[in-house]
Structure 1
Amino acid sequence: MESLGSVSESDRGAKEIKLAPAPPGEEEVDHEAARPPYIHAMLAGGIGGLTGDMLMHSLDTVKTRQQGDPHMPPKYSSMGNTYYTIWRQEGVRKGLYGGVKPAAVGSFIGTMAFFGTYEWSKRWMIDYGVAPSISYFTAGLIADLAAAPVYVPSEVLKTRLQLQGRFNNPHFDSGYNYRGTLNAMRTIVRHEGFGALFHGFKATLWRDLPFSALQFAFYEEERGMAKRYVGSNDIGLPLEILTAATAGGMAGVITTPLDVVKTRIQTQRTDTSSSPPNQPTSSLSPSSSSKHSTPSKSTHTSSSHSRPISTASPSTAVRAHGAATLDTSSVIRGLRIIYKSEGIWGCFRGVGPRGVWTSVQSGTMLVLYQQLLKWFDQHPLVSNNAEDL
């Protein structure tokens, strides 16, 4: 997350980094002393985040399928197998890019909110004498909190649409069957309540806050090493990509268990979802109100479990469907359930696609963010005096 402020760090914070001495007669240019106007930072962040998310959306779908697969044994055994199977059976638009609309809206608006909040809170803390490293860390947490109310509902819609695939999907029974984004939103609100759009809110924060903190710590250290190696604040595009990608990838791998819990909480279904459409239920599954009824095997889940979603890992042995359920919204309890039923590999289900996704997405977003800031500096949308507004 250090990259979010690397272009706009104050003089006080920038002087913390000691670079190789400049040649005689030349002064070291401190690119981090500049503070771009908020509108520049927000647009650069929004465009960068949107580009990174759209570029890697298909891989995010692969990760979601692996983490939320309710079948036993799991249908998808590896990242390559999952990608090929979804593409062959369901295609690109409805399969690999299912849920892309809510993902795009949530990514752009949420990232704009993130970068705007990050820049404001970071500058405020630095101006009041808070150490730059603490300012970056704290600003990243505050920015995630600010973006979450926008991001979480779009994440719920995106995740469910990714898990279901195409409408009336004959190849994968996820328990969901929406006609599209608006239909999914209406169905969720009508049968599960408005609060269902915020399922996994705490779990999302549990995942994103540590991710942002780790990404910031890794990226700050790597950029510091790169600057000392190059002897300049301008480390060049190859090192910008390398530092951003490795920081995001490492943070993504470490926080995979929290991502697994978040995905399961947002996609778990109520027990009444298997009942016929003509039976009134308090939490009706979208699939039960459509032509694509849930296969009879899903009704064999134990009635004692209110949320029968399988937590099986691709590496676990075949067991009865519904033997392990995640009947909780607690992150800690969810991790315990997964660990006891599946072991450590169950907690890291989907780690491959998540590691690749966060690496490429972070590299794309952070590098594009900095390049766009440079472009906006040459073609300003507002006067430089507006940066203090």
Structure 2
Amino acid sequence: MSGGSSAHLNRNGITPLQQMVASGSGAIITSLLVTPLDVVKIRLQAQKNPFPKGKCFVYCNGLMDHLCVCENGNSKAWYKAPGHFNGTLDAFVKIVRGEGIKALWSGLSPTLVMAVPATVIYFTCYEQLHAVLRVRMGGYAKEAPLVAGGTARVFAVTIISPLELIRTKLQAEKQSYRQLTDCIRGAVRSGGWLSLWRGLGATLLRDVPFSAMYWSNYEMGKKWLCERYDASEPTLAITFTSGAVSGSVAAIVTLPFDVVKTRRQVELGELLAKKLTHQASASTFSVMKHIVAQDGFGGLLAGFLPRVIKVAPACAIMISTYEIGKAFFRKRNQERIVRPLQTSSI
């Protein structure tokens, strides 16, 4: 690599484009490995609270919510009528036996459409902000991961939110892109441009604290494990463990907001199906009050085990593959810098 191109390297020794490739690859691998867990989770949830035909529900692979997927008319949706499952393992076995192993990766395509760009934006923003804040925060540099993680999530969620709405509409009704455009224009005319960011508040209330806690705990955990095992660079085991633990802690703390986000997205799917995108919805805390009144405080912790089981491996796999990708590009860049120097010295 020439001197001009090496100037574009950041503090981690890689370029922003290489960061994007590493995070995008991580999102793809994570989706491939975690989607079966999410399919089983949705089936188990639907079994307890069945969704009528045409009603949307949240589909998430642990990175962030992506869209609602519906069974509507003759469109091919992966959601099936819920079966009689006695638990996670039983659901795995019965789905494979009854529908084939491919059913465990149902809905993968729409997940990737949203997961990859969202994750690329999120991780790249975090890295850039973290590098800047570590220098500028001085004595408070230890808090840089917390601030960078929360800020990066705000940026990523705000950008992706309209895309999520569009994808939801495409899944809710079988229609052409021209029809979708007309529908969105109508929604904007009646509700204004802000209608494209419907439900953003609930998403931010959950995802921003999650990201802030996740990155803060991850960086601390990674540093502590490196010191404990006398590792100059974090190993795969260190990044995997740090990612799983920090993801679990953040998932547990933000679970009530995850429950609210699920309720609001289901509501969003119903409104889209009825072409009522302009209709106002209850606030986040109003939804919380309704849940407590209906199901008690335990209702705010619904899906505790499935969420942790899903988020922990998703975070661990994502951060591990991301760190491996960065290490690969860092080594490659170093070799490109050293090779011309060695050649010129001969």
Residues 146, 213 of structure 2: 8 Å contact kept:
no
Match of 1:374 among 319, 327, 334: 327
2:276 aligned residue:
283
In the alignment, the residues of structure 1 paired with residue 158 and residue 45 of structure 2 have an alpha-carbon distance, to the nearest angstrom, of: 23
Q: 1:137 aligns with which of 146, 151, 154?
A: 146
Structure 1 pair 354–46 and aligned structure 2 pair: CA distance change class (3 A)? same
Structure 1 position 128 matched with structure 2 position 127: no
Instruction: Give CA deviations for 1:26-56 in whole Å, capped at 9, x if unaligned.
Output: xxxxxxx644222222221221123213321
- Mark the CA change 1:81 to 1:377 in structure 2 (over 3 Å): closer, same or farther: same
Q: Does 1:117 align with 2:110?
A: no
- How many Å apart are 1:183 and its aligned residue? 10
1:49 aligned residue:
27
3-state SS of paired residue (1:379): helix
Q: TM-score, normalised by structure 1?
A: 0.61
Q: TM-score, normalised by structure 2?
A: 0.68
The separation in 2 between residues aligned to 1:92 and 1:253, in whole angstroms, is 30
Q: Pick closer, same or farther for the CA change 1:44–1:282 going to 2, 3 Å.
A: closer
2:160 alignment partner AA? Y
Matches within 5 A, 1:104-253: 104-130=112-138, 131-153=140-162, 155=164, 178-179=173-174, 189=184, 198-253=197-252
Matched residues, percent identical? Answer: 24
- Count of residues in Structure 1 that have an aligned counterpart in Structure 2: 291
Question: Residues 116 and 40 (structure 1 numbering): CA distance in 2 closer, same or farther, change over 3 Å?
Answer: same
SS in 1 for 2:233: coil
Assess, with a 3 A threshold, how the Cα gap between structure 1 residues 101 and 357 changes in structure 2: closer, same or farther: same
Cα distance per residue 1:104-149 (max 9 Å; x no partner) = 1221111111122112222222232443222211111121122113
The within-5 A match list for 1:341-360 is 341-360=294-313
Do the aligned partners of 1:53 and 1:104 also contact (CA within 8 Å) in 2?
Answer: yes
Q: What's the CA shift for 1:355?
A: 0.7
How far did 1:354 drift?
A: 1.4
State the alpha-carbon separation in 2 of the partners of residues 64 and 188 from structure 1.
29
Tell me the residue number matched to 2:317: 364
Contact 1:215/1:247, CA 8 A, preserved across alignment: yes
Counterpart CA distance in 2 for 1:185 and 1:201 is: 21
**Is the 2:172–2:269 Cα contact (8 Å) retained in structure 1?**
no
| In structure 1, distance between residues paired with 2:112 and 2:197 | 18
1:80/1:178 Cα in 2 relative to 1: closer, same or farther (>3 Å)?
A: farther
Letter in 1 for 2:252: V
Give the counterpart letter for 1:50 in structure 2: I
| Inter-CA distance 347–212: structure 2 relative to 1 (3 Å threshold) | same
Higher share in helix: 2
Which ranges in structure 2 are unaligned for 5 or more consecutive residues? 1-9, 53-80, 338-346
**Contact 1:62/1:83 (CA < 8 Å) preserved in 2?**
yes
User: How far apart in 2 are the matches of 1:273 and 1:126?
Assistant: 44
CA 1:66–1:156 in 2, change beyond 3 Å: closer, same or farther? farther
Instruction: Pick the aligned partner of 2:17 from 22, 29, 39.
Output: 39
**Aligned partner letter, 1:374:** A
* Secondary structure of 1:265's aligned partner: helix
Q: Contact 1:64–1:263 (CA<8 Å) still a contact in 2?
A: no
What pairs up with 1:74-93 in 2 under 5 angstroms? 78-80=87-89
Give the structure 2 partner of residue 330 of structure 1.
283
Shift of 1:261: 1.0
Distance apart, 1:376 and its partner CA: 0.8
Cα 1:218–1:273 shift into 2, 3 Å: closer
Check whether the contact 1:159–1:266 (CA below 8 A) recurs between aligned residues.
Answer: no
Whether the 8 Å CA contact 2:137–2:144 is kept in 1: the answer is no
1:258 is aligned to 257
